[in-house]
Amino acid sequence: MTSRRLGLLSALIPFLLAAQHTPNPAATPTDRLSEPWWAARHQAILDAIQQHPAAQLLLIGDSITQNYEKAHPPDENFQPTWQQFYAPRQALNLGFSGDTTANVLWRLDHGEVTGLHPKAAVLMIGTNNTARQDQTVEQVETGIDAVIANLERRLPETRILLLAILPSGVSETKSEADRAVNAYLANAYGENPRVTYLDIGSIFYKNGALDTAAFYDPRLTNPRKPLHPDTNAQRRMAEAIEPTLAKLMGGTPRVPLAEMTDINTALIPVPALEQDSYDWYARHHNELALERRLQPRLVLIGDSITHFWSGPPYDARTNGPASFERAFSNIPVINMGFGWDRTQNVLWRLRQGEFTGIHPQWVVLNIGTNNLTGTSHARANTPSEIVEAIAAICAEIHHRSPESRIILMAIFPRGESPTAPLREPIRQTGNLLTHRFASDSEVTYLDIGAKFLAPDGSLPRAIMPDGTHPSDSGYEIWANALAQAGVKP
């Protein structure tokens, strides 16, 4: 090494050492006691804990959380939502306007959860961090990790519901940071036994763009850019959170699932919702392992109809192994079908690593039939909601592999009789899909429903023995249609 380079290195060493020891501003507990209202609120929280030590739910965050205390119609009337969803659960509001992760850490260190044993804590923090220019994405991620670790240490019996940073219209720089932080959180807490991650950001979009009317900031006397949900949007937030929160708390939703129709549940990524005959998470991990060692030309994505066809990762139940072998024996393929999956489950799997690092020639997507039926875990979706979610899945796939050709299947017919209850919503969904993707140059919409039916419109048991899942003969029809669409060796 030359003396010049040695001199440069020597000059840099103090700066490198200083960088290593510079505290992360997002993870360093910091108070705001110099602000009288903040100090008074902190003391009020400590007093409330003494008065309500049996609190079963904590809501921890910034102004979006603190807003639940407001009752100012029309745009900032959040108390009705609080009273319906949270007050009956003996909830405490630990939201402080303007707080960052550093401020939450200080509050936790100074008694704001001491002596409490809640069933659940809802944490939504980070939006004020990403709005600052002095904090990197990595620092914000570490700050949120620090808050979660602090909560886990202080509340070892409490389930944590971690919410993604909500979308905003503050700036594209902030939005990029928010997306990066949320992607990290989804990966870090996707299968954590204590922490459930939930991204409800889709409820703030309309026709693919941020719905600025959902935020009250632009309507203030001194207008600001969209950041705070208004009365109606905050109500939709509560509905979007409710099914997951009720499950974590071991109770029933405060509002029946079938009545919470203000949000499109088909768009909110969640893991397995229904109990089935296989291990959903084990199959997910098998998919991830398969992707690491195989570069497929074909990927099949869907529910049990896809799952039960055949192909790697192989499962105990296969309804169409012969047709699968004839159609795809010379094509490297991955089957990403999961029994009982809805669109929201597919979105979760995609954001948890499936379809990462692979670039297949074809992607066959067959999803939506389970969205048409409601259970105690999820309500039935409307045809328009299903189409919106399918479009989101297609966008996720193209984001990961722009060169892949998507073949989008119409929902297969269900029920033996042509008047079976699901036939009409399937027809309506098909009409909407036809209209949505008619001019999409990147998606081929393929409707082969008529090929499964007899001339009188009935669904032969030889084709679909249970009225939903094809036999090998039924899968042969699907395979032939895919070959005609170009999926062949």
pLDDT of residue 1: 45
What are the tens digits of pLDDT across the range 208-221?
899 999 999 999 99
Assess if residue 230 is contained within a domain: yes
DSSP per position, 266-299: GGS--S--S--SS-HHHHHHHHHHHHHH---SEE
Same domain, 259 and 285: no
Quick check: 76 and 216 in contact, CB under 8 A?
yes
pLDDT given at position 82 = 98
Mean pLDDT of 275-300: 96
**270-286: per-residue pLDDT in tens?**
999 999 999 999 999 99
| Same-domain pairing of 33 and 114 | yes
**Single-letter code of the amino acid located at 394:** C
DSSP state of 25: T
Residue 5 has a pLDDT of 41
Cis peptide before 256 (omega within 30 of 0): no
Using DSSP's 3-state secondary structure scheme, residue 333 falls into strand
CA gap 177, 160 in Å, rounded: 23
Question: What would the pLDDT profile of 245-263 be if each residue is shown by its tens digit?
Answer: 999 999 999 999 999 999 9
- Backbone angles phi and psi of 250, in degrees to 5: 75, 30
Q: Each residue of 447-473: pLDDT tens digit?
A: 999 999 999 999 999 999 999 999 999
How is the beta sheet containing 159-163 ordered, strand by strand? 91-95, 57-61, 120-124, 159-163, 195-198
> 309 with 337: CB under 8 angstroms?
yes
pLDDT in tens, 191-242: 999 999 999 999 999 988 999 999 999 999 999 999 999 999 999 999 999 9
Beta strands in 199-249 (DSSP E): 205-206, 209-210
240 and 209: one domain? yes
Contact 121, 158 (CB under 8 A): yes
**Are 363 and 248 part of one and the same domain?**
no
Same domain, 343 and 438: yes
**pLDDT the model gives residue 15:** 44
- Phi, psi torsion values for 469, nearest 5 degrees: -100, 130
Give the model's pLDDT for residue 17. Answer: 45
> How high is the mean pLDDT of the chain?
95
* Position 400, amino acid: R
The mean pLDDT of 355-376, rounded to a whole number, is 97
Q: Are 372 and 241 in a shared domain?
A: no
Residue 3 has what pLDDT? 46
Query: Is 271 part of a structural domain of the chain?
Result: no
Strand partners, 60: 94, 123
Q: Is 393 found in the same domain as 444?
A: yes
Geometric angle at alpha carbon 81, from 76 and 87, rounded to 5°: 125
Q: Domains in the chain: how many in total?
A: 2
Mean pLDDT of 83-105: 98
Instruction: Kindly state whether residues 347 and 419 are assigned to the same domain.
Output: yes
Supply the pLDDT for residue 22.
84
Last residue of a domain, one of 263, 292, 324: 263
Based on the fold, state whether residues 223 and 319 are members of the same structural domain: no
Within-domain flag for 211: yes
Clarify whether residues 413 and 385 are in a common domain.
yes
Q: What percent of the chain has pLDDT over 70?
A: 96
Predicted confidence at residue 489, as pLDDT, reads: 79
pLDDT over 90 percentage in the chain: 92
Strand 71-72 to 76-77 pairing:
antiparallel
- 214 & 284 share domain: no
Is residue 333 a part of any domain in this protein?
yes
The DSSP symbol for 370 reads G
CATH number at 257 reads: 3.40.50.1110
Give CA angle at 217 (214, 223), nearest 5°: 135
Point out the domain boundary residue: 235, 263, 291. Answer: 263
Instruction: Report pLDDT digits (tens) over 385-400.
Output: 999 999 999 999 999 9
**Who contacts 378 (Cβ-Cβ below 8 Å, separation ≥6)?**
243, 257, 265, 273, 274, 342, 344
Residues 226, 374, single domain; the answer is no
Say if strands 159-163 and 195-198 run parallel, antiparallel, or are unpaired: parallel
pLDDT tens digits, 2-52: 444 445 445 545 444 444 568 999 999 999 999 999 999 999 999 999 988
Residue 393 belongs to what domain range? 280-484
Per-residue pLDDT for 377 more than 70?
yes
Instruction: Answer whether residue 6 is part of any domain.
Output: no
Q: Which tens digits make up the pLDDT trace of 112-168?
A: 999 999 999 999 999 999 998 889 999 999 999 999 999 999 999 999 999 999 999
